[in-house]
Structure 1
């Protein structure tokens, strides 16, 4: 015997999530990604949405019999980071089916669908793009938000009418949120930014801009660069006093 658990921004979206979990997809649904997970786009009651179906592997079924599902975390984390002033496509609902011993059988997450540019493409526009992204990363960490899979595909960019970029986070289930008022440490900040060092020789400049933008923590840019070097098993730079 199984049970369905769902939540949404309204009773209507909660029921929509339940119906989709049962296999009742909108007629206009289109698959836009198929891999470990499946993502479908559709228009529901005039709202463009993305529906993410999470992997049903045996490993996930067992792990998430104890922990909150990825669908639930995506929904809750999305609402929380919006409250903290960080953009993500509006979370609308999630649903999950659980069986014997609370084993996770199926789970989905629904959010508003938004067209956006991936981060890699935006950063290729030049140094100013890197400066803007460094400031965004600093804001994330000052707000106690650590996206554990911060990469080119999970950061999206829209250029607003005033010409300024709006960064947006997706794939939220691996996020770590500290209580409000707490900030991400120097060590974790460095680790979080390491992978961007492989995209451009300008990483050192990015690190310096990020460091100067941290409002609540004095971060030496060398500590970020050294995080990269430790990751590559290279000698670190000695800091000067």
Structure 2
């Protein structure tokens, strides 16, 4: 077993460990997906979020023990880096890995639980959401800052950005589902545009994002829009082709 607590927090290590230990029998279910399960626990009068990752297949059990960090450990380490770089993400608290003779059996990532107004997904699905364009432009600024700091968030999809209103017309953004990231000394134009391709299929949203990004990046709007829309279109084509293929195979 490996257990690590975020060093800068004055958190009771035993209490955090016990929450993980009792994951299956206590806590409030927050999300139950095909791959992972999330439960909420009370710790020191606050709510924490514990994510239990799906038990990997036999090959990955070995890989995660000897050759590559587990998703739980990567989530913890990447969240720590984001905090150091002043990028919004729920406060990391701890991670735990369990092993047997073969490899990794189970793993958990613990963070603060944020209560927010929406995710980027709602911004896509509800076009008349209040202050839609204001949020979209501030989100683009957030993404630009991410790129300027060399952070390539590989799971940059609509459900993985939490959005919290902090004052009138002012919003903060928090990345979740952090186990896939790359860190660069500098990100080129192509990498930046490709990193935004999974966020929305809506051309009108891409237009606003392109205008805001172009102003920040000192590039012509049309060049930014053409490249962002190109990568978005390519992603959407591959996504729906894969979906159709799965449907045919099931049939």
The TM-score range, normalised by the shorter chain, is: 0.7 to 0.9
Deviation at 1:149, TM superposition (A): 0.8
The range that moved more, 121-130 or 104-113, is: 121-130
The residue number in structure 2 matching 1:8 is 5
**Structure 1 residues 78, 211: CA separation in 2 closer, same or farther (over 3 Å shift)?**
same
Q: Check conservation: 2:20, 2:50, Cα contact below 8 A.
A: no
Whole-angstrom distance in 1 between the partners of 2:235 and 2:122: 25
Structure 2 gap segments, 5+ residues each: 238-251
More helix, by proportion: 2
CA contact (8 A) 2:156 2:199 kept: no
Question: What CA RMSD, in Å, does the superposition of the two structures yield over aligned residues?
Answer: 2.5
In structure 2, what is the equivalent of residue 63 of structure 1? Answer: 63
- Distance in 2 between the 1:153 and 1:226 partners? 22
Instruction: Give the TM-score taking structure 2 as reference length.
Output: 0.79
- SS of corresponding position for 2:79: helix
Equivalent positions of 1:46-195 (< 5 A) are 46-58=45-57, 59-65=59-65, 66-101=67-102, 103-116=103-116, 117-122=118-123, 124=127, 125=129, 126-178=132-184, 182-195=185-198
The Cα of 1:131 is off from its aligned counterpart by 1.3
Q: Which residue of 2 aligns with 1:236?
A: none
Once the two structures are superposed, residues 127-168 of structure 1 have per-residue CA deviations (whole angstroms, 9 ceiling, x without a partner) of: 222211111111111111111111111001001035310011
Rounded to whole Å, the distance in 2 between the matches of 1:109 and 1:232 is 31
Task: Tell me the secondary structure at the aligned position of residue 195 of structure 2.
Answer: helix
The answer on whether the counterparts of 1:158 and 1:167 sit within 8 Å (CA) in structure 2 is yes
Instruction: Tell me which moved more, 137-146 or 224-233.
Output: 224-233
Q: 2:248: which partner in 1?
A: none
Per-residue CA shift, 1:60-101, capped at 9, x if unaligned?
Answer: 423312200111111111111011111111000011012225
Q: Report which stretch shifted further, 189-198 or 153-162.
A: 189-198
Aligned residues: 224
How far, CA to CA, are the matches of 1:202 and 1:24 in structure 2? 40
2:204 aligned with 1:204:
no
Alignment of 1:212-227 (within 5 A): 212-214=215-217, 220-221=223-224, 222-227=226-231
The 1:106–1:230 alpha-carbon spacing in structure 2 relative to 1, beyond 3 Å, is: closer
How far has the Cα of 1:195 moved from its partner? Answer: 2.1
- Higher mean alpha-carbon deviation, 122-131 vs 110-119, is at 122-131
Which segment drifts farther, 156-165 or 79-88? 156-165
